[in-house]
Amino acid sequence: MEDVAALLECQQLRIHKAGSSPEECEDAERVWSGETRPDGRGNTVVPLYAAVSDGASESLLAGAWADRLVADAVDCLSGAHDWWDDLGGFVEELMTRSAGRWAAHLAQYRAEREARGRPITWYEQPGLAKGAFATLLGAEVRATVSDTGACSWAWHAFALGDSCLFQLRDGALVRAFPVESAEDFGVTPQLLGSRNHDTALVTDRLAVAHGTLEPGDEILLATDALAAWLLSPRHGGVAPGHQLAMVLERDQESFPEWVDDQRARGHMRNDDVTLIRMKVRAEA
């Protein structure tokens, strides 16, 4: 089954906003190869879990919160098999891990600041009281291998906010989730707050989607600036996936250079950019 896992290529990229330092980047991403397991129907499942999160600029500790969320999201995805069958239970587990542990993180942060002789100031107090906020997108790409050795591919994703999943075939968009139009990005996406303990509300607002993959298909998980670029009509007649693939398959420096160029041309908003790219090899 290790051979099956090798059929899924995976890249992770993160570029900070121009004018900010890399440490100030408030996006986070995580990928985790899960354990191969039987699915109870005579097949073997080979999963890969991925998550991206975009911390809200106007909240404090948004980067740390986004880091917490992606780590907890892949943990929860890998801990629950068909997690979408009990979405309420899945959300409760996620929020218990993330929001439940945030108070301790905050207490530690305050103590560290005190120890450094830089206690919390009046202008930080309201933001810390309000909590940290971030989007969250989690996905599982799953290969299911039957006892005859036939392999099928599928994805299952959840989203809160405007971090997006795209399915590409031959470089063209086959599916965009949860935002489907470039005009739908704004400065008030749905966000998961560190003080939100309303499991029912989060479960209700969480969007869930599924799809099947063919050999050669790609899945992209992207934060909003790149997601908006992928959905914009300005690609000069070249499929967006092809443009991106040319950049991503060149060398390590190409992606930051390309992002800078797109920003300079006004084709991409200046914001942190995060991308997880997963490609099912054609030979699969």
Partner 1 sequence: MPYTAEISRTNPGCFIFLVDQSASMSDPMVSGERTQARAEVVSDAINRLLTELSVKCAKEEGVRDYFHVAVIGYGHNHVGSAFQGALAGRDLVPLGEVANNPARVESRTKKVPDGAGGLVETSVQFPVWMDPVTNGGTPMTRALGYADSLVANWVEAHPSGFPPIVLNLTDGESTDGDPTSAAISLASHATADGAVLLFNLHVSGSGGTPVTFPDTEEGLPDTYARLLFQMSSVLPSHMRSYAASQGHRVGETTRGFVYNADITSIVEFLDIGTRATELR
Q: Which residues bind partner 1 (CB under 8 A)?
A: 17-20, 24, 54, 56-62, 121-127, 130-133, 160, 187-193, 196, 198, 201-202, 205, 270-271
Least Å from the CB of residue 126 to partner 1: 5
- Find the Cα–Cα–Cα–Cα dihedral 282, 28, 59, 202, rounded to 10°: 60
What are the backbone dihedrals phi and psi of residue 111, each rounded to the nearest 5 degrees, phi first?
-65, -40
Q: For the chain, what's the residue count? A: 284
Least Å from the CB of residue 122 to partner 1: 4
Q: Are 4 and 45 in contact (CB under 8 A)?
A: no
Range list of H helices, 80-198: 87-115, 125-130
Q: Are 158 and 82 in contact (CB under 8 A)?
A: no
Least Å from the CB of residue 155 to partner 1: 25
Question: Which of residues 110 and 242 has its CB atom nearest to partner 1 in the complex?
Answer: 110
Least Å from the CB of residue 66 to partner 1: 11
Question: Which of residues 95 and 143 has its CB atom nearest to partner 1 in the complex?
Answer: 95
Least Å from the CB of residue 171 to partner 1: 29
Q: Are 213 and 278 in contact (CB under 8 A)?
A: no
Q: What angle do CA 246, 247, 252 make, to 5 degrees?
A: 130
Of the candidates 209, 159, 167, which has an alpha carbon nearest to the alpha carbon of residue 184?
A: 159
Beta bridge partner(s), residue 220 = 166, 277
Question: Which of residues 11 and 190 has its CB atom nearest to partner 1 in the complex?
Answer: 190
Question: Which of residues 84 and 109 has its CB atom nearest to partner 1 in the complex?
Answer: 109
Of the candidates 184, 173, 203, which has an alpha carbon nearest to the alpha carbon of residue 90?
A: 203
Least Å from the CB of residue 181 to partner 1: 17
Question: Which of residues 121 and 148 has its CB atom nearest to partner 1 in the complex?
Answer: 121
Question: Which of residues 8 and 268 has its CB atom nearest to partner 1 in the complex?
Answer: 268
